[in-house]
Amino acid sequence: MIKTLRRAIFALSLAGITAAVLRIKGKGGVPPQQGGWREITPPK
């Protein structure tokens, strides 16, 4: 029981550290700033 609990705490800690590293050091980039929809002109 204690062993399982320790493993769970270890796994959660590892996940937390990994997430923190990615959050601080990760480069998510900038979302697209252009594009999307453009109103068309009536066809001739």
Partner 1 sequence: MNVAIVGQGVVGARAAQVLRDIDITCNVVKDADHTGSCDVAILARGGEQHDDAETLIGRGISVVTTADEPDEIEELIELDEDARKEGVALVVGATAVPGLSGLLARHLAAQFDSADEIHVAVHGTGGPACARRHHKTLRGFATGLQDGEWIKRPAGSGRELCWFPEPIGARDCYRADLAEPMLLHRVFPEVQRISARRAATRRDRLTATLPMLFPPHAEGGIGGVRVEVRGVRDGARTVEVLGVAERLATVAGVVSAVFAVSLGQGLIKQDGVIIAGMEALPTSTLVRMVMDSGIKIHAFTGITD
Per CB under 8 A, 36 contacts partner 1:
yes
**Contact between 24 and partner 1 (CB under 8 A)?**
no
**Minimum distance, C-beta of residue 18 to partner 1, in the bound complex (Å):** 28
Alpha carbon dihedral 38, 39, 43, 44, in 10-degree steps, equals -100
Distance CA 21, CA 13 (A): 12
3-state SS class at 42: coil
Single out the residue of 3, 23, 28, 39 in contact with partner 1 (rule: CB under 8 A). Answer: 39
Could you list the residues that contact partner 1 (CB under 8 A)? Answer: 32, 34-40, 42-44
